[in-house]
Amino acid sequence: MTDKTILVIGTYDTKDDELGFLSRVIRDEGGHVVTMDVSVLGDPSSPCDYSKHDVAEAGGSSIQAAIESGDENRAMQIMAKGASLLAARLHAEGIFDGMIVLGGTMGTDLALDVTSALPLGVPKYIVSTVSFSPLIPPDRLAADTQMILWAGGLYGLNSVCTASLSQAAGAVLGAARAVQKPDPEKPLIGMMSLGTSALKYVIPLKPALEARGYEVAVFHATGMGGRAFESLAAEGAFACVFDFCTQELGNHIHGSNISAGSDRLTGAGVSGTPQIVAPGCYDLVDIVGWQAIPDKWADHPSHAHNRLLTSIVLDTEERKAVARAHAKQLSAAQGATALILPEHGLGEWDRDGADLHDAAGLNAFLAELEAHVPPHIPVHRIACHINDAAFADKALEIFDAWRADGRVAG
């Protein structure tokens, strides 16, 4: 329990006491510490393992250039680039097992870059005065970033902020000791879904894929899940993706805050990862449930899923816009791509006889999508619902054919 090393990053010219306290707690708990200074103007009370000069030079610049930039934003971006590259190199060399960054808005801005430079499975903690704030854009959060609010920590040590810092020290050290990193030797399938009350294909597909020797990671299509999925897909982390809930794309183009970003449905295409796609729950746009429904949706049917999430039901023209967005995103795909279009519905609530059933809207969506999909992408129209066994069987049929011809590894 004494063999884990934590990289502690911060501006040691202004937060020397706080960073020193954090390091002491980690050492008192049996861990080791290496330190990285990302200051620009001042110096720490004692030398860090990696100085501000090391950091700036790692990014191809210098402290003098940061100072002469005459702007704290440009200066900190120089340090963020250097810290990210240096941290990635040090981790690849086995220098540390987990990382923690301490900061206000400046330090947090840098921390978001550094966490994104490290692979999935490396414990990465940000202790920030703006944790959980709307100042932090979701698309800058690495898939497994942990954040802790640094209460009472703007300037100097006190019993309020040391309560947060001591917990953070224990958290990152405990995570480094306990983490079970992804197995790079086992091929991984990335799958998008909502809960099994809306989309049930995960129930047959997960064991079927596992029986074929694959690990299956299912991501929740509520904004952050899609961001993590797209990030990993773009890195080539998946042997194949089963992207069967693309609702976040509709959320994005219709202005919902519950968005996975403008690159939803592109990550696999960028990396050339084989992808099987079906537009599950295309007819819904999710909005924040505890906020007032925006005026643009006032005349639309809605369903309060819980106190956090409300779903708006799209009209026909809005569905057609979602269809065109799907076709646009898929058009640049570099790898094998197949599109499955179940003709009897794409979510449990749109079945014939269910509350959200709209045969005309569904048919208009399917026709619009099929009309705009590039000709090199095969479209499989099947006479079933997305939650029927026939849908899962079709997905596995395509997958098995790709395995047989070598397009899917494993």
Q: Is residue 409 part of a domain?
A: no
Q: Is residue 326 part of a domain?
A: yes
- Rounded Cα distance between 51 and 59, Å, is 13
Return the pLDDT at 304: 85
Residue 1 has pLDDT above 60, yes or no: no
The residues pairing with 100 across neighbouring beta strands, listed in sequence order, are: 8, 125
End-to-end CA, the chain: 36
Residue 153 has pLDDT above 70, yes or no: yes
Query: Is 249 in the same domain as 290?
Result: yes
Query: Is 130 in the same domain as 193?
Result: no
Count of structural domains within the chain: 2
- Of residues 120 and 247, more confidence is placed in 247
Query: Is 13 in the same domain as 144?
Result: yes
Q: How far is CA 207 from the centre of its chain?
A: 24
Q: How far is CA 379 from the centre of its chain?
A: 28
- Rounded Cα distance between 324 and 34, Å, is 51
Query: Is 129 in the same domain as 270?
Result: no
Q: Under a CB-based contact definition with an 8 Å cutoff, are residues 150 and 167 in contact? A: no
Per residue in 18-46, pLDDT tens? 999 999 999 999 999 999 999 999 999 99
The mean of the pLDDT values for the chain is 94
CATH number at residue 387: 3.40.50.12030
Return the pLDDT at 213: 95
Query: Is 257 in the same domain as 382?
Result: yes
Return the pLDDT at 167: 96
**Ordered strands of the 124-128 beta sheet:** 32-37, 5-10, 98-103, 124-128, 145-149
Q: Which residues of 242-255 are buried (b: 16+ CB within 10 A; e: fewer)?
A: bbbbbbbbbbbbbe
- Rounded Cα distance between 186 and 189, Å, is 10
Q: Is residue 338 part of a domain?
A: yes
- Rounded Cα distance between 354 and 247, Å, is 19
Q: Between β-strands 302-304 and 309-313, what pairing exists: parallel, antiparallel or unpaired?
A: antiparallel
Q: Which of 151, 178, 205 is the last residue of a domain?
A: 178
Alpha carbon of 130 to those of 52, 133, 150: distances in Å? 24, 5, 8
Q: Under a CB-based contact definition with an 8 Å cutoff, are residues 145 and 167 in contact? A: no
Q: Which of 155, 178, 201 is the last residue of a domain?
A: 178
Q: Is residue 183 part of a domain?
A: no
Q: Is residue 293 part of a domain?
A: yes
- Rounded Cα distance between 178 and 175, Å, is 5
Q: Is residue 58 part of a domain?
A: yes
Domain containing 29 equals 5-178
Query: Is 239 in the same domain as 359?
Result: yes
CATH number at residue 41: 3.40.50.12020
- Rounded Cα distance between 336 and 273, Å, is 7
Question: 376: Cβ–Cβ under 8 A, 6 or more apart, which residues?
Answer: none
Query: Is 210 in the same domain as 107?
Result: no
Q: Which two tokens stand for residue 178?
A: 């306990």
Query: Is 153 in the same domain as 199?
Result: no
Per residue in 366-397, pLDDT tens? 999 999 999 999 999 999 999 999 999 999 99
Return the pLDDT at 182: 80
Query: Is 335 in the same domain as 257?
Result: yes
- Rounded Cα distance between 395 and 410, Å, is 17
| % of the chain residues with pLDDT over 90 | 82
**Residue 353 CB neighbours (<10 A):** 5
Query: Is 260 in the same domain as 323?
Result: yes
Return the pLDDT at 138: 78
Band (405; pLDDT cuts 50, 70, 90):
very high
Question: 317: Cβ–Cβ under 8 A, 6 or more apart, which residues?
Answer: none
- In 51-107, which ranges are E strands? 98-103
- Rounded Cα distance between 8 and 98, Å, is 9
Query: Is 169 in the same domain as 202?
Result: no
Q: What 3-state class would DSSP assign to 42?
A: coil
Per residue in 238-268, pLDDT tens? 999 999 999 999 999 999 988 898 999 999 9
Residue 183 has pLDDT above 90, yes or no: no
Cβ neighbourhood burial of 261 (10 Å; 0-12, 13-18, 19+): middle
Alpha carbon of 389 to those of 11, 190, 203: distances in Å? 56, 20, 10
Largest CA distance in the chain: 72
Q: Which two tokens stand for residue 199?
A: 């989309």
Query: Is 163 in the same domain as 197?
Result: no
- Of residues 235 and 79, more confidence is placed in 79
Return the pLDDT at 2: 60
The mean pLDDT of 74-94, rounded to a whole number, is 97
User: What residue type is assigned to position 386 of the chain?
Assistant: I
Q: Is residue 410 part of a domain?
A: no
Q: Which of 152, 178, 204 is the last residue of a domain?
A: 178
- Of residues 9 and 410, more confidence is placed in 9
Return the pLDDT at 111: 97
